[in-house]
């Protein structure tokens, strides 16, 4: 059974259809890449999957049960959501921000048990932000802040990770590192869905691809079947070249159609 399943989901925002009768599923142990042009509905889809936005029609089920019927704390323990931008308006140090990822597991605001401390330390290490933990998060660069938010996500140890463009602000090293961390979580049984614009990263790390266009599913299937010119070019409006060097795939948009 799918960990998270959507059936016939539609969403209207500001009088405009943003998602239209969309169905998809996310299973434990896989990384699903969600791709598509700007405005295709990718971020809205992730918010629906996280339970932050109720669809106007259709169903969202978590472990076979209607998502909105789960208590908020239970949903937060099971689903970790990383938005495109997570602004921090208070001068909190990095470690405190990462500890906030444990809030769904706490029995009180001012206590962190030993297990939580271990989870926070592991998250700081895995996201490679240990050296930043004493600094104020609102004084960090955009890329450093993104890495801290990834650490906060990891600290909660959710069974489902939903990440919206987690590598957009990162340099080449940290893009690869972030994707490796998410892939490692998937290999350990976490269900991971990640919104990406870098098609080469999607080809390298994602087992399945969901291609959105105008709020609907343009294509959905194995990465090797979706990430090809015949599928991508009509949706993106560009010509695509796919280079394969000993199994390492690069997908290059090279000319507008």
| CATH label of the domain that carries residue 10 | 3.40.50.300
> What is the per-residue pLDDT across 26-42, written as a single tens digit (0 to 9) for each?
999 999 999 999 999 99
Where on the phi/psi map is residue 14: left (φ > 0), alpha (ψ -120 to 50), or beta?
A: left
With a cut of 50, list the residues of the chain below it in pLDDT: 1
CB-CB contact of 177 with 96 (8 Å): no
Report the pLDDT value the prediction gives residue 257, as an integer from 0 to 100. Answer: 80
CB burial string 71-96: b at 16+ within 10 A, e below: eeeebbbbbbbbbeebebeeebebbe
SS3 2: coil
SS3 49: helix
Report the pLDDT value the prediction gives residue 79, as an integer from 0 to 100. Answer: 97
Q: How many domains does the chain have?
A: 1
Report the pLDDT value the prediction gives residue 109, as an integer from 0 to 100. Answer: 60
Report the pLDDT value the prediction gives residue 111, as an integer from 0 to 100. Answer: 59
Q: Distance between CA 231 and CA 219 in Å, rounded? A: 8
Report the pLDDT value the prediction gives residue 246, as an integer from 0 to 100. Answer: 86
- Dump the DSSP string for 147-182: HHHHHHHHHT--SEEEEESTTTT--HHHHHHHHHHH
Q: Distance between CA 74 and CA 72 in Å, rounded? A: 5
State the residue range of the domain holding 120.
4-256
pTM summary value: 0.94
Report the pLDDT value the prediction gives residue 85, as an integer from 0 to 100. Answer: 79
Report the pLDDT value the prediction gives residue 247, as an integer from 0 to 100. Answer: 83
């Amino acid at each position: 059974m799918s960990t998270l399943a959507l059936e016939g989901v539609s969403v209207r925002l500001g009088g405009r259809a943003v998602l239209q009768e969309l169905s998809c599923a996310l299973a434990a142990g896989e990384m699903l890449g969600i791709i598509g042009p700007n405005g295709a509905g990718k971020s809205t889809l992730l918010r629906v999957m996280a339970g932050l936005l109720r669809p106007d029609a259709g169903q969202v089920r978590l472990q076979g049960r209607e998502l909105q019927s789960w208590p908020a704390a239970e949903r937060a323990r099971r689903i970790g959501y990383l938005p495109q931008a997570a602004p921090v308006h208070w001068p909190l140090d990095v470690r405190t921000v990462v500890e906030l990822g444990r809030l769904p597991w706490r029995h009180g605001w001012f206590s962190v048990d030993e297990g939580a401390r271990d989870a926070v330390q592991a998250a700081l290490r895995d996201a490679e932000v240990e050296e930043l933990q004493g600094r104020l998060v609102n004084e960090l660069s955009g890329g450093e802040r993104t890495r801290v938010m990834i650490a906060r996500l990891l600290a909660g140890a959710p069974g489902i990770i939903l990440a919206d463009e987690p590598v957009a602000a990162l340099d080449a090293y940290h893009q690869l590192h972030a994707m490796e961390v998410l892939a490692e979580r998937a290999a350990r049984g976490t269900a991971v869905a990640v919104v990406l614009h870098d098609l080469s990263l999607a080809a390298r790390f994602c087992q399945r691809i969901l291609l959105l266009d105008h709020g609907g599913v343009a294509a959905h299937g194995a990465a090797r079947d979706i990430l090809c010119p015949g599928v991508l070019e009509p949706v993106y409006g560009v010509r695509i070249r796919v280079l394969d060097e000993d199994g390492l795939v690069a997908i290059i948009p090279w000319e507008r159609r």
